[in-house]
Structure 1
Amino acid sequence: MAGQIPVIDLEDFPRESEKLREACEKWGCCRIINHGVPPTLMSEMKTLVGSLLDLPVEIKRRNTDAVAGSGYMARSEVNPLYEALGLYDVGSAEAVDTFCSQLEAFPHQRKTIELYAEAIYKLTMNIGRKLAMSYGVAGDVFNGWNCQFRINKYSFTQETIGSSGVQIHTDSGFLTILQDDENVSGLEVMDQSGSFIAIDPWPGTLVLNLGDIATVWSNGRLHTVKHRVQCREATTRLSIATFLAPPKDMLLEAPPEFVDSQHPRLYAPFTYEHFRNLRSAGKLHAGEALELLRCKN
């Protein structure tokens, strides 16, 4: 049921530390069990996602960008079956409040969002610390980084079976924690051979995948995984993705633990905002933007 990707038990650290590092280097993704987010909260949040994405479009458009592509994303020519809402800083009570107000969330909806944001922020930072420490990097290296989330809706019909729900892409941040739809399949990741494999639903678990910034931060050690969503049945598919990413104006470069005479620095320093704009302006959504930022020497 986990597909072919590694399964990491968060209650079994530090014994799982090497397994996590290996999964992130070879696969760029893994399944997370015993993660600490209550199943009831996950279920309530999924119901809420459906309600928010059923709102009139004029309300959804109030969810504006904090950085390129972080707010409401309407269906498009490239992704005609997909739309999403975004919250740029899950760890900020003010940002959570603004998100709820933009979408006119009811009190019980607001409470669910607040509880989920708190739980998923704690989990995301915990995984980031564990991964950093597995390389001998201080666990507080991600203090001050942002956790964003994006709530996704795929509107599949009989006519769209076999087509793409969202294009092949990599995520732009450091890591992503995905609460996938526990009933509707469709997520696929690219394996080491370049083939896509299906990641079937596994209720109560979460999927971890690495984004472009992980490759930069690790000086090429960590693997950015390409993935996509395919339409397999006529139904609505919902998911929630939480992204760990640097502040938009932070100058990003690999920590010294990853750089030496045998491993010269691969990427010139840049800000996350510049990187997001580069990806967006050039429509470079599958890791191509990284090549533009490589050191000349």
Structure 2
Amino acid sequence: MKVLETGNGARAMKNGGLDPQRISFEEIPIIDLEPMFSGDAAAKAKLAEDLRKACTEVGFLYIKNHHVPAEVLEGTFAAAETYFGQPDEVKMANHVSKSKNNRGYAAMLEENTDPTARGDLHESFDIALDVPADDPDVKAGKVLYGPNQWPSDMPEFRKALETYHAEMLKLSGHLLHAFALALGLEETYFDDMVGKPLATLRVLHYPPQFGEIDDRQIGIGAHSDYECFTILAQKEGISALQVLNAAGEWIAADPIPGCFVVNVGDQMARWTNDLFASTVHRAINRSGRERYSIPFFFGPNYDTLVEALPSCVDEDHPAKYPPVTSGDYVNGRFAATFAHYGKDNEAEASAH
């Protein structure tokens, strides 16, 4: 049994095999998010029940009726393909090392999500909430806040990603309300904690892998996500994403038309004292085609204290994790994952 270290502790995986167990999609539930837009209380209550079941049993789900326009998705995928099709030296002009806030381009093998592995076979471009350099939080050294950096001659790329980011912020608000209801809380319970969220958008390019594959070097190694939840768009027809189930087996999470994949992150797991599962996942692109995906990582404000909710602890279930601010937790995970994310960022963050 292989053991993977994550920010929330060790996870067990069965040894060997890169093929996930192929099961019907019903095994990873599909949640209809329409009630969060329609306002019907009874429908919201049913959604909350379904979401709670998905988060406690699986930690991964699909959402449909999310109200994100198809043209926004298509435009962002097209912009990503154009961007990643450029020569490496052009992309390196906006390398993340030129940003104090982990924004910009990262090349193949610069990320290593699984500490037992040898680097991830993808390239990426990251943006987040665009916070001006003269903002008090930026000037105070909260390194996950700051301005985005952009290619100077690709205005359509910037427009596509900024439009997508804005849509994801809106969707995240509705989804966070659903999570609150699933936890038996007031729908707006978390609202004061996300006025200035740590909300990162990535576009990713995975080249195909052929022949025998070393499981220490795949598209993205086994990991759990760091924030509250992740909303992932995958291009149809390309299978790569795999989810670790409770038995330590890999399950395919293939694209479903009209749906996003959503998974619980470490911070939501900490808030819920592990009631909601922060599920380990990985990606292996053996489709024979280039793969592009768009994850959006949503977490609370930098200074929000992430600690077990009162409703998730009792005499028999004491808090499993010490309180930590959202910014400190994500900074610590970035320092362990990204080659370019230096100790200066981690040390600076820990002072706040």
TM-score, normalised relative to structure 2? 0.71
Q: Deviations over 1:158-182 (max 9, x none)?
A: 4576862111111111100000122
Paired letter, 1:86: D
What's the CA shift for 1:108? Answer: 3.4
CA contact (8 A) 1:162 1:232 kept: no
Q: Which stretches in structure 1 are left out of the alignment for 5+ residues?
A: 285-297
What secondary structure is seen at the aligned counterpart in 2 of 1:172?
coil
What's the CA shift for 1:128? Answer: 1.1
CA contact (8 A) 2:96 2:103 kept: no
Q: Which residue of 2 aligns with 1:119?
A: 167
Q: Which residue of 2 aligns with 1:24?
A: 55
1:196 aligns with 2:250: yes
The verdict on how the C-alpha distance between 1:239 and 1:105 changes in structure 2, with shifts beyond 3 A counting, is farther
The verdict on how the C-alpha distance between 1:226 and 1:107 changes in structure 2, with shifts beyond 3 A counting, is same
Q: Which stretches in structure 2 are left out of the alignment for 5+ residues?
A: 1-23, 36-42, 111-117, 134-144, 339-352
Paired letter, 1:195: E
Query: Which of these residues, 236, 248, 263, is aligned with residue 290 of structure 2?
Result: 236
1:41 aligns with 2:72: yes
Query: Which of these residues, 104, 107, 119, is aligned with residue 74 of structure 1?
Result: 107
CA distance in 2 between partners of 1:108 and 1:280 (Å):
29
CA distance in 2 between partners of 1:269 and 1:79 (Å):
30
Query: Which of these residues, 197, 200, 203, is aligned with residue 151 of structure 1?
Result: 203
Percent identity between the two aligned chains: 30
CA distance in 1 between partners of 2:153 and 2:51 (Å):
37
CA distance in 1 between partners of 2:173 and 2:52 (Å):
16
Aligned-residue RMSD, C-alpha:
2.8
CA contact (8 A) 2:54 2:60 kept: yes
CA contact (8 A) 1:183 1:201 kept: yes
Paired letter, 1:44: G
Q: Which residue of 1 aligns with 2:25?
A: 2
Q: Which residue of 2 aligns with 1:211?
A: 265
Paired letter, 1:149: L
The verdict on how the C-alpha distance between 1:218 and 1:80 changes in structure 2, with shifts beyond 3 A counting, is closer
Query: Which of these residues, 92, 95, 101, is aligned with residue 58 of structure 1?
Result: 92
CA contact (8 A) 2:83 2:157 kept: no
What secondary structure is seen at the aligned counterpart in 2 of 1:102?
coil
CA contact (8 A) 1:8 1:20 kept: yes
Paired letter, 1:88: A
What secondary structure is seen at the aligned counterpart in 1 of 2:291?
strand
What's the CA shift for 1:111? Answer: 2.9
CA distance in 1 between partners of 2:183 and 2:208 (Å):
42
Q: Deviations over 1:74-105 (max 9, x none)?
A: 2117335211111122xx47599943x52226
Deviates more, 1:71-80 or 1:205-214: 71-80
CA distance in 2 between partners of 1:273 and 1:200 (Å):
32
Paired letter, 1:60: N
CA distance in 2 between partners of 1:107 and 1:73 (Å):
20
The verdict on how the C-alpha distance between 1:185 and 1:251 changes in structure 2, with shifts beyond 3 A counting, is same
Q: Which residue of 2 aligns with 1:295?
A: none
Larger Rg: 2
Q: Deviations over 1:160-215 (max 9, x none)?
A: 76862111111111100000122311111011211001112212210000111111
CA distance in 2 between partners of 1:235 and 1:282 (Å):
30
CA contact (8 A) 1:53 1:60 kept: no
CA distance in 2 between partners of 1:249 and 1:272 (Å):
6
What's the CA shift for 1:46? Answer: 0.6
What secondary structure is seen at the aligned counterpart in 2 of 1:197?
strand
CA contact (8 A) 1:82 1:165 kept: yes
Matched length: 280
TM-score, normalised relative to structure 1? 0.83
